Amino acid sequence: MTIQKGNILIYRVFDVGGEILLSEAEKILSQSSPGFRLKLATDTRKAIIIKDSPLNADLGEDILKLPGGEFTVRARARVWNYGVISITLELDIPPGCDWKGLVKLAAAIESSETTEETAKRHKDDIKKKILPAIKNPAEWDVFEDYITYIIEKADAAGEPLEFIKKVDVAALIMAEDKEFLSEESKAFITENAMQYSKTDLAVIDWNSALLIEPDGQRDVADVIEFSLTHLLEFRYYDEMLNRKLDELYDTIEEKRESVVNIFRNQYADIAEDSSRKYMEFSEFLGRVENSLKTVGDPYLAVIFKASAHEFHFDDWRKSISRKMETLAQITQILHGEVNTKRSHWLEVIIIVLIALEMIPLFLDLWKYLH
């Protein structure tokens, strides 16, 4: 079984800030880089219709050094309005490559450190240029990585469902060129293969996907990339909530408010920031839930659901919701405690003021009696 034509899409997805103003980013890139090919992803021939379509930036060719040698890759960036930059390194599958050779190439890509270095370099270049268009710029060490294998033509392939029975799809998906996977593991990966027509096929797993696309269509690959950006945001908000809860617990352990700061609620800033983050996440969650409405093709909606399942969107959503509820409950309790303290101090102040008002009366009474 040899592959005559195909591609490997290596994704690296980064969170670089709170929001990216796409119109401003487009102007900046167009002015700073003459000839920089840039366009909004609004190709009407495609079935994908995404609100606030990302900017597509062709970054040209690069060299990717792998254990098996050097490969020329085409680099592309997509700038998403919710503060994400995704970098794609596209590598052509060598014509005539057999399946074992493809699995070895997959293992080399997975183990290579230069893949991340190359993607981060391109990300840093883009971020530096569009920095004025990024609201609340930040740098999060965590990023998403994913690989999509696209096969357009293979010798003696037959129909896609027959093709995946002839080759070890699981070995490719897991980039496992040394261990022999069990039949149960193989079946678990291939049992959810999806088809739009008899000539194409999609096998989506949590860390990579195999697409058979005789026409070279990239719609399914685009939906997977779209899902990856959402996964990164889920992870970001989950980590952000962990930090907020830790900060809140640390604050509780500190010395309680004293007379000097009775008019300042030391939990108010945390509560206000938590409320802002809650609104931010609610907006993001609504965007995820409405994503199916923005994917025009029913088959692509199925692909999105499959990606969401493999990326455990529901688990991330539940985890974040629990932490949001915990955060809201704790901040509400702390607000109540501080307000109670303030009420007590106000009562003391009122008593003192009344006492001060009584001093002249007592002095006059003292003089009268003497």
Summarised one tens digit per residue, pLDDT across range 46-59 is: 555 666 788 888 88
Q: Between β-strands 208-212 and 17-20, what pairing exists: parallel, antiparallel or unpaired?
A: unpaired
Nearest to 225 by CA among 151, 139, 291, 269: 291
Residue 127 has pLDDT above 80, yes or no: yes
Residue 35 pLDDT class (50, 70, 90 cuts): very low
Find the length of the chain: 370
Tell me the per-residue pLDDT of 223-234, one tens digit each, with 9 for 90 and over.
Answer: 999 999 999 999
pLDDT at residue 43 in the model: 44
pLDDT at residue 351 in the model: 85
pLDDT at residue 256 in the model: 52
Residues 132-164, buried b or exposed e (16+ Cβ, 10 A)? ebbeebeeeeebbbbbbbbbbebeebeebeebb
Tell me the per-residue pLDDT of 333-359, one tens digit each, with 9 for 90 and over.
Answer: 766 766 777 777 788 888 888 888 888
Q: Of 246-250, 305-309, 351-355, which one has max mean pLDDT?
A: 305-309
| Cβ-contact 262, 342 below 8 angstroms | yes
Nearest to 262 by CA among 136, 347, 146: 347
What secondary structure letter does DSSP report for 264? Answer: S
Mean pLDDT of 157-177: 85
Map tokens 């254990």 to a residue.
67
**CA dihedral in degrees (317, 320, 321, 326; nearest 10)?**
170
CA distance 45 to 31: 28
Rounded alpha-carbon distances, angstroms, from residue 281 to 84, 237, 267, 288:
15, 7, 21, 10
Residue 296 pLDDT class (50, 70, 90 cuts): low
Each domain of the chain, given as residue ranges in start order, spans 2-216, 226-362
Residue 261 pLDDT class (50, 70, 90 cuts): low
Residue 61 has pLDDT above 60, yes or no: yes
Tell me the per-residue pLDDT of 204-222, one tens digit each, with 9 for 90 and over.
Answer: 999 999 999 998 888 899 9
- R_g of the chain computed on alpha carbons: 29
pLDDT at residue 333 in the model: 73
Measured distance between the N- and C-terminal CA atoms of the chain, rounded to whole angstroms: 118
CA distance 94 to 102: 9
